[in-house]
Chain A
Amino acid sequence: MALAEKTGADPLEARLGPVADAGAWAKAARGEAAKRLRAMGLPGRRDEYWRFTNPADLNAAEAPEAAVFETGEAPTFDAIDRLKIVFVDGVFDAATSDDLALEGVEIERLSAAASRDIHWARELYGVLEARGQTPVARPFAALNSATATDGVLIRVTAAAPKPVALIYLHRDTRSDAVLHHVVRVEAGASLTLLESGPAAARINKVLEVDIADGGAFHHIRAQGRDHERRAMTSIFARLGEGSVYKSFTLTANGVLTRNEQVIELTGDNGVAHVAGAALGDGKSFHHDDTVFITHDAVGCESRQVFKKVLRNGATGVFQGKILVKKGAQKTDGYQISQSLLLDEDSQFLAKPELEIYADDVACSHGSTSGAIDEDALFYLRSRGVPEADAQDLLTLAFVAEAIQEIEDEAIAADILARLEGWLARRR
Chain B
Amino acid sequence: MLSIKNLHVSLEEEEKQILKGVDLEVEAGKVHAIMGPNGSGKSTLSYVLSGRDGYAVTDGSASLEGEDLLEMEPEERAAAGLFLAFQYPVEIPGVGNMTFLRTALNAQRKARGEDEMSAADFLKLVREKAKALKIDAEMLKRPVNVGFSGGEKKRNEILQMALLEPKMCVLDETDSGLDVDAMKLVAEGVNALRDAGRAFLVITHYQRLLDHIRPDVVHIMADGRIIKTGGPELALEVEENGYAGILGEVA
Contact = CB atoms under 8 A, between A and B. Distances in A.
A384 B74 CA distance: 7
8 contacts: A373-B90, A373-B92, A376-B90, A381-B78, A382-B52, A383-B104, A389-B103, A396-B95
Contacts, number: 79
Contacts of B111: 384, 386
Given A389-B103, A396-B94, A379 B108 contact: no
B150 interface: no
A398 B95 CA distance: 9
B160 interface: yes
A398 B103 CA distance: 17
A293 B164 CA distance: 49
Interface residues of B, number: 30
Given A393-B99, A401-B94, 14 more contacts: A376-B91, A379-B86, A380-B92, A382-B75, A382-B84, A382-B86, A383-B164, A384-B111, A384-B164, A385-B103, A385-B104, A389-B107, A397-B92, A397-B95
A357 interface: no
Contacts of B78: 381-384
Contacts of B51: 381-382
B74 A382 contact: yes
Interface residues of A, number: 23
A216 to B, nearest CB: 28
A374 interface: yes
Given A378-B53, A394-B95, A385 B90 contact: no
B148 to A, nearest CB: 13
Contact of B73 (A374, A376, A387, A400): A387
Given A382-B51, A385-B104, A393 B74 contact: no
A348 B94 CA distance: 21
A375 interface: yes
Contacts of B79: 384
A302 to B, nearest CB: 23
B194 to A, nearest CB: 21
Interface string A220-257: 00000000000000000000000000000000000000
A384 B104 contact: yes
Contacts of A378: 52-53, 74, 90
A178 B156 CA distance: 55
B49 to A, nearest CB: 10
Interface SS majority for chain A: helix
B39 interface: no
B89 A381 contact: no
A386 B110 CA distance: 11
Contact of A394 (B77, B86, B92, B104): B92
Contacts of A393: 95, 99-100, 103
Interface of A: 373-376, 378-387, 389-390, 393-394, 396-398, 400-401
Nearest to B108: A384
Contacts of A385: 75, 103-104, 107
Contacts of A390: 75
A382 B80 CA distance: 11
A89 to B, nearest CB: 38
Contact of A397 (B94, B107, B164): B94
B89 to A, nearest CB: 7
B93 interface: yes
Interface in B103-118: 103-105, 107-108, 111
A397 B160 contact: no
B44 interface: no
B50 interface: yes
Interface in B43-96: 50-53, 73-75, 77-79, 84, 86, 89-95
A202 B50 CA distance: 51
Nearest to B109: A384
Contacts of B164: 383-384
Nearest to B86: A379
Nearest to B78: A384
A376 B107 contact: no
The 7 residue pairs across chains A and B that have the minimum distance between CB atoms: A397-B94, A384-B78, A383-B104, A384-B108, A381-B74, A379-B90, A400-B94
A382 B75 CA distance: 5
A337 B74 CA distance: 33
Residue among A383, A386, A398, A400 with most chain B CB within 10 A: A383
Contacts of A381: 51, 73-75, 78
